[in-house]
Chains A and B, each alone.
With several copies, the nearest count.
Chain A
Amino acid sequence: MRRALGSRLEIRGLSVDLGEFHLRGIDLSIASGEYFVILGPTGGGKTVLLETIAGLHRPRAGRILLDGEDITAAPPERRGMGFVYQDYALFPHLSVRENIAFGLRLRGLSRPAVAERLAEVGDLLAIGHLFHRPPSSLSGGEQQRVALARALVVEPRLLLLDEPLSALDPETRERLQRELGRLRRELGLTVVHVTHDFEEAVALGDRLAVMHAGRVVQVGPPEEVFRRPATEFVARFVGVRNIFEGRLRPGDDGYQVLPLGAVEVAVVTELSGRAHISVRPEEIIISREPLRSSARNAFRGRVVEVSERGALAYITVRVPPEFTGVVTRRSLEELALREGEEVWIAFKASAVHVF
């Protein structure tokens, strides 16, 4: 396998019309060796974007540049991009070995050269023992490894992954997710990875683009998208829970305040007038007594719902309005939080995102 850095990709003003899918004015610039995640709801045209990058659809307008070279009109077989679909799309009439060798054979490599590369990729992905099997006999995780091997063995300049983990069960998904991270580091690949799963995007992506209705609505590092969603859609999509709308007005000490129900929330912002605010559940501290802390916002409320999700519990507190905080199961027991109990919540003014 090549260990050099992958290619640099630039997309300029790309528009695609394909049946019910429409992409509009997509601009992206992906650096060499970057792991770039495109995040968006299912059926939002993310696959069409990947396929257009691979040359499988003709764009209506716009240009695609690979290492500065315009490839907008190049057929897919000349682009040197590896493609992996969500449901693997292995050739059902070929063995695992023949699946992986497919691209090598087309390149006219000699028998020994093919065998050498197969052995190498077999080791890399730990699938050497599956080579003689038909794809239909493999588990989902094994099939996805084979699909990855098939794409990687031809040393692509760019690896395109179309929801590669979403058809797998949680355990396999997690393992393959780690594997993708490792492959990317070891091979120095440029990766464009499409997903609807925010956690996957955070775990893997150097940067991510959020797509909505055929447009890119935000691009940035995961932390930034997570903390400062550009639109309400992004906020809801990445799982921000406490979203409120109101009219900002100046408060004391240089803060602004947003009146909400019975209380006023202090925020730090340059904005004025009507605005959205959001607070991430993990920024909200829940206690049985008023906290002495630097948190500017502290309110008394009543627990109206406790929803346990695995190791965590989401606590909804009606002040009003209703804020949702998250605690570990351990805290849940220590604080003996139950519906109807009176509690205090607190969060810092700087933890409030205004948009």
Chain B
Amino acid sequence: MRIAFALLGALLVLFVAVPLLWITLSAPPALLWQTLLDEEVQDAILLTFAASLAATVLAFVTGVPLAYLLARTDFPGKHLVEGIMDVPVVVPHTAAGIALLMMFGRRALLGRALGTLGLRFVSAVPGIVIAMLFVSLSFLVSAAREGFEAVDPRLERIARTLGASPWTAFWRVAFPLAWRNILSGMILMWARGLSEFGAVVILTYHPMVAPVLLYERFESFGLDYARPVATLIILICLATFVALRLVSRRER
């Protein structure tokens, strides 16, 4: 039985691994180097990283407390909140982009209000950030929630009897014990943010993040022009992902 299972499973593994290997191995290194020196490519990659990081930070500040509440308490409407946190995975990316545009666009209520404060979303970096935040927040919330659920609530109770306030018990006990899960949720969320195209392209075509740049080159100049950019982006994403995974695994 194990052999049959291994054969079937191998099909799936190869389906993922071979295209990625092929695209990275078939690119001439000189061409990759030249692409890396392209300033437009550099800007797009840096912008992608920075915007996704900003989205992750926003989700950390709001999502970790939410995850803690979902793990520890029962409240009316809890199932609804859980459902809402899963919805961004389900909503088609372009439709999510349109929905955000209707809230944060120049003609929209919230967009206009924030615009008077100097915060522009359409064709601007904040638009990229909220698009990434929307499509990737589920990852952090569910990972953090799992982390908190794995912490025995009696550890916090013991901390309370030893003189800790609820805050202290959270920071000294629950948070450090759930940190590994939270960190890997943040990594996954950040990586998912990097990869977003559909929602970002609706809100903000320019300045271009890497997936948009790639799409533009493919549309305007064809596959041969897009290939080195795609290879470079895949390599950078994989390298960062592997590095972060190793770091987070070494932690404790």
Q: Which residues of A contact B (CB under 8 A)?
A: 51, 54-56, 75-77, 79, 81-83, 85, 89, 91-93, 102-103, 106-107, 150-151, 154, 160
Contact = CB atoms under 8 A, between A and B. Distances in A.
A92 B177 contact: yes
Contact of B157 (A76, A82, A154): A76
A107 B161 contact: no
A150 B163 CA distance: 12
Contacts of B158: 83, 85, 89, 91, 150
Contacts of A85: 154, 158
Given A103-B162, A150-B162, A154-B163, A83 B168 contact: no
B165 interface: yes
B173 interface: yes
A107 B157 contact: no
Contact of B160 (A77, A150, A154): A77
15 contacts: A54-B157, A56-B160, A75-B160, A77-B160, A89-B154, A89-B158, A91-B155, A91-B158, A93-B176, A93-B252, A102-B164, A103-B163, A106-B163, A106-B164, A154-B162
A220 B163 CA distance: 33
Contact of A76 (B155, B160, B172, B252): B160
B219 interface: no
Nearest to B163: A106
A284 B173 CA distance: 52
Contacts of B161: 54-56, 76-77, 79, 81-83, 151, 160
Nearest to A78: B163
Interface residues of B, number: 18
A75 B161 CA distance: 9
Contacts of B160: 54-56, 75-77
B47 interface: no
B164 A56 contact: no
A55 B168 CA distance: 17
Contacts of A56: 157, 160-161
A103 B161 CA distance: 9
Nearest to B168: A106
Interface in B132-187: 152, 154-155, 157-165, 168, 172-173, 176-177
A134 to B, nearest CB: 10
A122 B110 CA distance: 61
B170 to A, nearest CB: 13
Given A56-B157, A102-B162, 6 more contacts: A54-B157, A81-B161, A85-B158, A102-B164, A150-B162, A160-B161
Given A56-B157, A83-B157, A85-B154, A93 B177 contact: yes
Nearest to B159: A102
A76 B156 CA distance: 11
A93 B176 CA distance: 8
B110 to A, nearest CB: 40
A91 B159 CA distance: 9
Contacts of A83: 157-158, 161
Contacts of B252: 93
A56 B154 CA distance: 10
Contacts of B172: 102
A79 B158 CA distance: 12
A16 to B, nearest CB: 15
Contacts of B173: 91
Nearest to A108: B163
Contacts of A76: 157, 160-161
Nearest to B162: A103
Contacts of A89: 152, 154-155, 158
A299 to B, nearest CB: 48
Contacts of B155: 89, 91
Nearest to B74: A19
A106 B162 contact: yes
A189 B155 CA distance: 23
A89 B163 CA distance: 16
Contacts of B164: 77, 102, 106
A60 to B, nearest CB: 17
